[in-house]
Structure 1
Amino acid sequence: MPTPPSFNQSVIEEFRARRGEVGGPFEGADLLLLTTTGARSGAPHTTPLGYVRHEGALLVVGSDLGAPRHPAWYHNLLAHPQVRVELGADAFEALAVPAEGARREELFARVLRTAPGYADYQARTERPLPVVVLESAAPDGWRAPGEVRTLAGKLLEVHTWLRAQLGHVRAETEAHFAARAAHTGPGRPPEPGLGLQIRQRCLAFCQALAFHHTSEDEHLFPGIAVHHPHLAGTFERLREEHRTVARIQDELVSLLEGVRIAEPERFRAELARMTAELTAHLDHEEETLLPLLAEVPWPPPRP
């Protein structure tokens, strides 16, 4: 049976109070807290989960003790791939990417070598237990010296992460086409197991960009306009760009939904066009906004 909410809450409270250490049945276990966004409610939900380290990432398994249905947190991360992880005294944003096909089998075997009890949970249910890779969502490229100290630095950090996600989407679609091209036997080519990876990265990119633009339109631009009223026309043009970018995001999602059957050269051309338009928007925002934000402290001072 699923773990009672009251028990989960007591584990969460103990975890946070003791900086990741928990007693009782979890004493000495590798445990993290995963906070997902409700697929329907949009509200945050925190769940204690065991984990296994693998190649710089964390693996979690949607076992729910062998229940017949996937746990709620798994459905949440399919709808909202960006999650929050608490590990010991640390907390960070992560991208949740479920493994598929041969990679799922490989990673589940890796989990079993560290935590063989998951084999019992798998034996209790007919559904394959999902294996989810939690990758740090921190930008991979640019870093400010030390901590980000200005709003310009924060904007550039967000843009760097967005560019990295577009890069991952391109790399994974190329891997998909390479696997299709390598198939020489009869019947349909084998699935390369990248469908969910591409979907999650695209969804994370689109959701993050939409949130970023909403924050700019509703908070950042009006705040700057108070001190720079002559830039009102510039901000209106950026808002118009945001509406165009939202359309491109929808087109990108539709394009990637057809990646399994797409004609490679046409697909590559469309993906390259959309990527160029999205990147050009980020470049233009930086050119316009970074000089204005270079002296604005981050995080903002408390009133």
Structure 2
Amino acid sequence: MTAQDQHETIEDSPVGWVASHIRRYVETDGADGGTFHGVPSLLLTTRGRRSGKLRRTALMYGRDGDDHVLVASNGGSARHPAWYLNLSADPRVDIQVGAERFAARARTATAEERVRLWPVMTEVFPTYARYEKETDREIPVVIIERTSTEQSTID
């Protein structure tokens, strides 16, 4: 059952420019917002670990075969982004890439995968390398694996 079938509201990022990006992305099926500063962008919906509410954000991504790859940089902050904490608590996520929507599972890359994927992601968005230098935490790389062509498995 999809979130929309349940009439469950999805709350977009509280950050103004991100919410605006999401709105444009949804309204145009990614025609406006499918890239951000020339970098591919997707929409990620997670279940809030404390609130239980559906939360949506826009993120830059890379590819690894059929999988989508994200970086939980939080702009080089000392703290992980909320979306990463949410998917760590519940790995069931929904993804929108352009007009395509699908259910997926998210997981943190293993140490070996991270070694291979970090250079891929810094090529996608070179600023990630600067973020890595600005924080003491290891910035997680997240692998999104499609589970279904259905829109949602978050329930």
* TM-score interval, normalised by the smaller of the two chains: 0.7 to 0.9
Residue of structure 1 in register with 2:32 after alignment: 22
CA deviations 1:243-279 (Å, max 9, x no partner) are: xxxxxxxxxxxxxxxxxxxxxxxxxxxxxxxxxxxxx
Structure 1 gaps of 5+ residues are 140-147, 149-203, 212-303
State the one-letter code of the partner of 2:113. Answer: R
Separation in structure 1 between the aligned mates of residue 81 and residue 115 of structure 2, nearest angstrom: 19
Separation in structure 1 between the aligned mates of residue 135 and residue 42 of structure 2, nearest angstrom: 24
State the one-letter code of the partner of 1:59. Answer: V
Q: CA deviation at 1:83?
A: 0.1
- Give 1:5's match in structure 2, choosing from 15, 21, 33: 15
Separation in structure 1 between the aligned mates of residue 24 and residue 109 of structure 2, nearest angstrom: 31
Q: CA deviation at 1:29?
A: 2.3
Residue of structure 2 in register with 1:65 after alignment: 75
Mapped contact 1:57–1:134 kept (Cα < 8 A): yes
Residue of structure 2 in register with 1:92 after alignment: 102
Q: CA deviation at 1:94?
A: 0.6
CA deviations 1:142-188 (Å, max 9, x no partner) are: xxxxxx9xxxxxxxxxxxxxxxxxxxxxxxxxxxxxxxxxxxxxxxx
Residue of structure 2 in register with 1:136 after alignment: 146
Q: CA deviation at 1:124?
A: 1.2
Structure number having the greater strand percentage? 2
Residue of structure 2 in register with 1:110 after alignment: 120
Equivalences for residues 130-279 of structure 1 within 5 A: 130-138=140-148
Secondary structure at 2:39 match in 1? coil
Q: What TM-score does the superposition give when structure 1 sets the normalisation length?
A: 0.43
**RMSD of aligned alpha carbons:** 2.4
Q: CA deviation at 1:120?
A: 1.1
Structure 2 gaps of 5+ residues are 1-12
CA deviations 1:45-74 (Å, max 9, x no partner) are: 001000001111000000111111000000
Matched, 1:44 2:19: no
Q: CA deviation at 1:4?
A: 6.0
State the one-letter code of the partner of 1:137. Answer: T
Q: CA deviation at 1:100?
A: 2.3
Secondary structure at 1:30 match in 2? strand
Secondary structure at 2:136 match in 1? coil
Change (3 A) 1:36 1:126: same
Separation in structure 1 between the aligned mates of residue 102 and residue 111 of structure 2, nearest angstrom: 28
Number of aligned residue pairs: give it.
140
Change (3 A) 1:6 1:114: closer
Q: CA deviation at 1:133?
A: 0.3
Displacement over 6 Å in runs of 4+: none
Secondary structure at 1:86 match in 2? strand
Structure number having the greater helix percentage? 1
Question: Whose radius of gyration is greater, 1 or 2?
Answer: 1
Percent identity at matched positions?
37
Separation in structure 1 between the aligned mates of residue 55 and residue 82 of structure 2, nearest angstrom: 9
Q: CA deviation at 1:8?
A: 1.4
Separation in structure 2 between the aligned mates of residue 36 and residue 76 of structure 1, nearest angstrom: 6
Q: What TM-score does the superposition give when structure 2 sets the normalisation length?
A: 0.81
Matched, 1:79 2:89: yes
